[in-house]
Amino acid sequence: MLEIKHFTFNPFQENTYLLLNEKKECIIIDPGCYFESERKELLTYIEKEGLKVTRLLNTHCHLDHIFGNKLVADTYGVGLEIHQLDAVVLERSPELGQMYGVPFEASPAPARYLEDGEKIQFGDNELEVLLTPGHSPGSVCFYCAKQQFVIGGDVLFYQSIGRTDLPGGDHQTLLNSIETKLFVLPDEVSVWPGHGKETTIGYEKQHNPFL
């Protein structure tokens, strides 16, 4: 049984996720810890719970989701995993950090690339990688069919969708991703987004004004 722990970090109010299994292994998704207090909060939680960090995943590489990539990689010796189509976004992120007035340590380069449909084994569970471009070229979601949840990045929000006005974004592509990759999932699947509160596939089908 997987446990989802989330933190809300940085000036962009980004959701950082930890997935914990029965062996106290931990996958970190989108570490957005920026301020020193946030970095300490993340590391302290992992130490206090006695967790072994086994993977570092990014749903996409906009700066607010990768502020803590170097911290996690250096502290726990794990390699970064992203979709290859977001490599260009990762490369440009330090420059954007300067533009937004939030300079940060550049993320390490990816250790490997995720593939659409890939199954990530994690204890007795697995996560399926869903390629969902539109917010960024290589945005992915992580779907756990056994426990009916998806870590969705900035694709689908509570009564909203990801912005598409950043480089590499495309509105129609995002809508297509939601329709073909997320709305085909069962209605009861919970969506844990990159910003804001949890929602469900069924709720967004019924109430999302963008869809």
Average pLDDT over every residue of 40-59:
98
Average pLDDT over every residue of 164-180:
95
- Please determine, for residue 183, whether its predicted confidence score (pLDDT) is greater than 90: yes
DSSP 84: G
Confidence label for 36 from pLDDT (cuts 50, 70 and 90)? very high
Straight-line distance from the first to the last Cα atom of the chain, in angstroms, rounded to the nearest whole number: 32
Average pLDDT over every residue of 44-63:
98
**In the structure encoding, which two tokens stand for residue 44, read together?**
């302290």
pLDDT at 167: 84
pLDDT at 153: 98
Burial label, 55 (beta-carbon count in 10 A; 0-12, 13-18, 19+): buried
Query: E strands along the chain, which residues?
Result: 3-9, 14-20, 25-29, 52-57, 80-83, 110-114, 119-122, 125-131, 140-144, 149-153, 156-157, 160-161, 190-193, 199-200
The residues with which 113 forms a beta bridge, in sequence order, are: 82
pLDDT at 122: 95
Looking up residue 81, the CATH number of its domain turns out to be 3.60.15.10
Confidence label for 166 from pLDDT (cuts 50, 70 and 90)? confident
pLDDT at 38: 98
DSSP 86: G
Average pLDDT over every residue of 100-122:
96
Instruction: Tell me which H or E stretch contains 201.
Output: helix 201-207
Q: Is the distance from CB of 64 to CB of 12 less than 8 angstroms? A: yes
The residues with which 114 forms a beta bridge, in sequence order, are: 83
**Which range of residues forms the domain containing residue 115?**
3-207
Q: Is the distance from CB of 33 to CB of 71 less than 8 angstroms? A: yes
Cβ-based neighbour number of residue 180 at 10 Å: 11
- Please determine, for residue 210, whether its predicted confidence score (pLDDT) is greater than 90: yes
Question: How many domains would you assign to the chain?
Answer: 1
